Structure 1
Amino acid sequence: MKYRQLGRSALKVSELCLGTMNFGPRTPEAESFAILSAAVEAGINFIDTANQYGGALGVGSTETLLGKWLAQDPGRRDRIVLATKVHEPMSDDINDRGLSARHIQMACDASLRRLGVEHIDLYQMHHIDRLAPVEEIWQAMDRLIAQGKITYVGSSNFPGWKIAQVNEKAIAGGRLGLVSEQGLYNLIERRAEMEVIPAAREYGLGVIAWSPLAGGLLAGKVAADAGRRQTDDMKQAASARAQQLSRFAALCEARGETQSAVALAWLLHQPGMTAAIIGPASGAQLTSVLRVPEIQLGAETLAKLDAIFPAVGPAPEAYAW
C-alpha cells in the first residue's frame, strides 16, 4: 500500500480508502468484519463512513457495525484514520439534519456513541447547507475540536465556490480550514475538473473520489455488481456508452489488467488526488483491487483514456467563454 498526505495536513492516509456504505444493508456483519480486517492487514488505514448509512436497517446502522468491529480489538482504533459525515436527515425531526451548530454538535456526539470511540479523525460535511452561515458552522467545528471530539474538518459534494467561501472564512479566523473534499469523480464523470478540483488544489484540500467505478459501469465483468447493473438506469447508461465501454475494455485487456483496476489507477494519476474510495461488497472484490497503487499508467495510456473518456475542458475556459 502507498500513502499520501491528506491535503495540506501532515496526516498520511492510504491511497485506497475503504468505504463502508455497503456494510450492513448489503454486506452481512460477519463478512463486513472480514473485509475490514483484511483491508487493514493489507495496509489500508483510511476508513470512511457516514452517520446516515444503514439503508433498510436504519440510519446509523453502519456506524454501529463499525463500532462493533473496532470493539473486538482496541488496538484497531489507533491504526486507522476514521472519517464520518454529518448533514443528512437522521429522523423526522426538523432540526435533526443540516449544518446548524446544534445539529453538528448532537450528530457528532451520536456518531461517537455508535462508533464507540472518543474522537473522529476527519469530520466531513456531507453536503452544503445554504441556510447555515459559515460562521455558525465554524463555531460548531471549533467547539468540537476544542472538546477533542474531532481532529480535521472536510467537505463532501461541495461546489468550488463553497470550498472557497468556507476556507476564506477559515483563513480570516486563523484556522486550518478544510483539509479534504470528497466528491463524485471517475473516468465517466469528470465535471469535478472544472471547478471543484482546481478550488481544492488552490486551498490545499486533498480530493477523495467516491463512485470511482461509476456505479459499476467501469468495473467490467470481473468486479461488476450484477444486481446494480440490472437496474433500468444502469442498463440505459451502459447502452448509451456501449462504444466507450467497449474501447475501455479492449485497452484494459491489452494491458492485462481488470477494468476496475485501471479505472482506480487512473484516479490516482490525477493532480490533487489523495485517495479513491473502494466499496467492496465481498472479500473477493477487495482482493481484486489491492494492487492498484502499484499500477503505473504511462503518458500514452493516459492519453488513450482521455480519448475514450474526454475531459470537459480546462477551467474556466470550458464554460466561461
Structure 2
Amino acid sequence: MQTEIRTPVAGLPQTTEARNAGMELDLDRVMRVQANRPAIERRVATFPGRRTVKKNYQAAWLCKAITCIDLTTLAGDDTEGRVRRLAAKARQPVRADLLDALGMKGLRVGAVCVYHDMIAPARAALEGSGIPVAAVSTGFPAGLSPFHLRLAEIEESVKAGAEEIDIVISRRHVLTGNWEALYEEIRAFRAACGPAHLKAILATGELGTLRNVARASLVAMMAGADFIKTSTGKEAVNATLPVSLVMIRAIRDYFDETGYRVGYKPAGGISKAKDALSYLMLIKEELGNPWLSPDLFRFGASSLLGDIERQLEHHVTGAYSAGYRHPMG
C-alpha cells in the first residue's frame, strides 16, 4: 500500500502556527544565561550509542530525516544546470524502486538552498512541487559587507521569489558582548524579509564559548528569528551535538516563556545517516514531536542525502551499493 506524504505547500512554521513575533531585548535575561560545558558534554557523549533504532524503525526515521533536509549547493562554480539537477533530486530524493518498496510515495526534501543568482532557476525547476527555495544572504558566509547592502540583498532575494532567507550575523557583536547591536541587526533583517522565513546563522564555531552560543540564540529569537542555525558550513567547526543541545534548550526556554515555537537547523559536517538519527533523537527528547517536522527542523546538507539513500537501499535489498549509485544530480 502506497502512503502519500502530506506536507505544507511551503514548510514554514508560520503556515501551521503563529510566527515568532519576537520581543523587546531583555539584557538582564540575556546576561543570566550560562552554559555548563562539562554537563553538556556528558549529556551528549554517550548519546549516539545509547539511542539506536533498527530495521523498519530505522528506515522510517531516515525517511523522516529526508523530509527535513535543506538540499544545498553553495559553490562558486554553481550553474543553472547543476541547480536544475539538484531540484530534480529534491522532488525525488530516493530512487523510485526504493520508494515503492518502502511504501513512501511522495517523499521529498524540506527546501532547496542556493545563492541569490540561482533563485530563478531553482524556482522554475521546483514549480508545482511545493518545495520552498531558500537563499543565503547578508554577505554570506562572512557577513562583512556594508549593512545597507546586506539589507538590499535580502530584499532582492525575496523579490526574486525566495521563501526563506538564511542570514549570517556579525560575529563581532557576540564576541564583544554588544547584544543591543546584534538584536537591532537581526530585527532589521527580519523586517527586510517581510513574509519570507528568516533563519539566523550564528556561526557557532566562531563564537568562542557555549555561553556565547546560548546568549546569541536567545537574542536572535528575541529579535524575531523563525529559525536559529548553527553554521554556514564554511567554518572550521560546524554543527556539533554539544552546540545543538545548547541551542535547542534555548529554543525550549523561549517557547516556555513566550509560547512561540522557533525552528532549529544544524548545518555543516552532517554527512552520515547515523549522525542524522542522533540529531533527530536529540530533538525528540529535548523538544518533543512538534519539532520533528520540516516546519521546525532542518538539516543543512547535500551529501547526507546520498548516505541515507544508500542505507535505505541496504534496508530494502540487504546489500550496500556504491556511493556513485546515488548522485545528487
Relative to the length of structure 2, the TM-score reads 0.50
Could you tell me which residue of structure 2 aligns to residue 165 of structure 1? 219
Kept in 1, the 8 Å contact 2:111–2:132? The answer is yes
1:266 to 278, 283, 288: 278
Per-residue deviation at 1:63?
3.0
Task: Please state whether the residue corresponding to 1:192 is helix, strand or coil.
Answer: helix
In the alignment, structure 1 segments of 5+ residues that lack a partner are 50-61, 171-176, 214-218, 220-259, 297-321
Give the superposition deviation at 1:192: 0.6
Kindly indicate whether the alpha-carbon contact (under 8 Å) linking 1:15 and 1:275 is maintained by their aligned counterparts in 2: yes
Query: In 2, distance between residues paired with 1:161 and 1:287?
Result: 35
| 8 Å contact kept, 2:165–2:193 | no
The equivalent of 1:179 in structure 2 is 226
Q: 1:141-196, CA deviations, whole angstroms, 9 ceiling, x for partnerless residues?
A: 33542xxxx4322211262212212433x4xxxxxx22211115999833314532
For residue 198 of structure 1, what is the amino acid of its counterpart? Answer: R
Structure 1 match to 2:197: 152
Conservation of the 8 A alpha-carbon contact between 1:268 and 1:276: no
SS at match of 1:195: helix
Q: Is the 8 A contact 2:110 2:298 kept in 1?
A: no
By how many angstroms is 1:106 displaced?
0.8
- Asked if structure 2 preserves the Cα contact closer than 8 Å seen for 1:90 and 1:97, the reply is no
Corresponding letter in the other structure for 1:123: I
Give the Å deviation of 1:210. 0.8
Which one-letter code corresponds to 2:190 in the other structure? Answer: M
Q: Name the % identity.
A: 13
Does 2:145 align with 1:97? yes
Larger helix fraction of residues: 2
Shift of the alpha carbon at 1:287?
A: 4.5
Contact 2:141 2:168 in 1 (8 A): no
- Name which structure has the greater RCO, CA cutoff 8 Å, separation 6+: 2
Structure 1 residue 268, shift from structure 2 partner: 1.9
CA distance 1:90–1:41, shift in 2 (3 Å): closer
Tell me, in whole angstroms, the C-alpha distance in 1 between the residues paired with 2:74 and 2:192: 28
Alpha carbons of 1:139 and 1:212: their partners in 2 closer, same or farther (altered >3 Å)?
Answer: closer
TM-score, L = length of structure 1: 0.51
Listed one character per residue, the Cα deviations across residues 17-69 of structure 1 (whole Å, up to 9, x for unaligned) are: 212224x52x66434422221222341131223xxxxxxxxxxxx43234224
**Are 2:88 and 2:125, in contact at CA under 8 Å, matched by a contact in 1?**
no
1:38-187 aligned at under 5 Å gives the runs: 38-42=89-93, 43-49=108-114, 62-72=115-125, 74-75=127-128, 79-88=130-139, 97=145, 100=147, 102-112=148-158, 116-117=160-161, 120-128=162-170, 130=173, 132=181, 134-135=183-184, 137-142=186-191, 144-145=193-194, 150-157=195-202, 159-168=213-222, 170=223, 177-184=224-231
- What CA deviation, in whole Å up to 9, does each residue of 1:87-128 have, x standing for no partner? 32699xxx9726x4x334311233346xx42xx322232123
Partner of 2:60: none
Cα distance in structure 2, aligned partners of 1:295 and 1:188:
27
Partner of residue 211, structure 1: 268
Q: How many residues align?
A: 211
Distance apart, 1:139 and its partner CA = 4.2
Computed over aligned residues only, the root mean square deviation of the Cα atoms, in angstroms, reads 4.3
1:213-235 alpha-carbon deviations (Å, 9 max, x no partner): 3xxxxx5xxxxxxxxxxxxxxxx
Q: Which has the larger strand fraction?
A: 1
**Contact kept? 2:229, 2:267, Cα under 8 Å:** yes
Distance 2:120 2:7 in 1: 24
Partner of 2:308: 289
